[in-house]
Amino acid sequence: MEYLKWSSGDGIATITLQRPPANALSSGLLRELAGVLDEIEPNRDIRVVVVHGEGRFFSAGADIKEFTTVKSSDGFSNLGKFGQDLFDRMEKFPKPIIASIHGASLGGGLELAMACHIRLVSETAKLGLPELQLGLIPGFAGTQRLPKYVGVARAAEMMFTSEPITGVEAVQYGLANHAYPEEEVLEQAYKLARKIAKKSPIAIKAAIELLNYAKTEEFYEGTKREAQLFGEVFVSNDAKEGIQAFIEKREPNFKGE
């Protein structure tokens, strides 16, 4: 694998994002993640999964430069649908998935984290969906999952302003379970994983299935529409300006077209 590595021991699988400098979520990384899940799911020795990022970040977002290679609305919609399906699979995965978050979990990185069953964060981590800063919108079900955790008003503020919240705030708002000093987050994730790994895999699988009934039909209608609008927005002139401004490290000049 080029963008991920994974290992297992004592009933715990560790998936490490390793795409420096920011562990950006490229289509290649997402395909590798799907492949790792294929290997882990039937492995009866693995009870819990921990996901974390190598280096300074959990994941600072999607690969914006890769977006410049996609030319059509349908291409972007298909990319959004692929990410949505993968993250929906994670949320329904029969083994608990714990995200160990440090540094930054932004855009697609936060969408990945929100697909995990449990999120542990460093106190100073930055979590947010800054896509509107680029004239874009979240496309991996972020518009549907974030309100589920923090409420519609808080989600609206986070998306409209593109401003992240801290790990401590994420716990306060219900987006994360616990916040720790950065050097302790991963070990706390393993501590929690070891506790969960002692439970019955049959009961855990049943609990995960039942938790997913909390998602309404409107959630799936919302993700379907999100994928469609993800494609439409990405081919707008504003999106082209936002992406170019990001690459050139300048403020975008949006014109509403």
Active site residues: 111, 131
DSSP 19: -
Helix, strand, coil percentages in the chain from 3-state DSSP, rounded to 5: 55, 15, 30
Residue 101 near residue 156 (C-beta atoms within 8 A) = no
* CA-angle at 43, arms to 38 and 45, nearest 5°: 150
* Closest C-alpha among 22, 41, 79, 123 to residue 227: 79
What number of other Cβ atoms are within 10 A of residue 89's Cβ? Answer: 15
| Fold exhibited by the domain 4-182 | 2-enoyl-CoA Hydratase; Chain A, domain 1 (3.90.226)
DSSP 106: E
pLDDT of residue 199: 96
Instruction: Write the burial class of residue 230 (CB in 10 Å: 0-12 exposed, 13-18 middle, 19+ buried).
Output: buried
Give residue-wise pLDDT tens across range 29-53.
999 999 999 999 999 999 999 999 9
Q: How confident is the model at residue 154 (pLDDT cuts 50, 70, 90)?
A: very high
Give residue-wise pLDDT tens across range 110-134.
999 999 999 999 999 999 999 999 9
* Closest C-alpha among 233, 224, 226, 223 to residue 73: 233
Residue 165 near residue 158 (C-beta atoms within 8 A) = yes
Residue 140 near residue 111 (C-beta atoms within 8 A) = yes
Dump the DSSP string for 161-225. H---EEHHHHHHHTS-SEEE-GGGHHHHHHHHHHHHHTS-HHHHHHHHHHHGGGS-HHHHHHHHH
* Closest C-alpha among 16, 4, 2 to residue 189: 16
Give residue-wise pLDDT tens across range 193-242.
999 999 999 999 999 999 988 887 888 899 999 899 989 998 899 988 99
Q: How confident is the model at residue 91 (pLDDT cuts 50, 70, 90)?
A: very high
Residue 62, pLDDT above cutoff 90: no
> To 10 degrees, what angle do helices 73-91 and 27-40 make?
30
Residue 22 near residue 64 (C-beta atoms within 8 A) = no
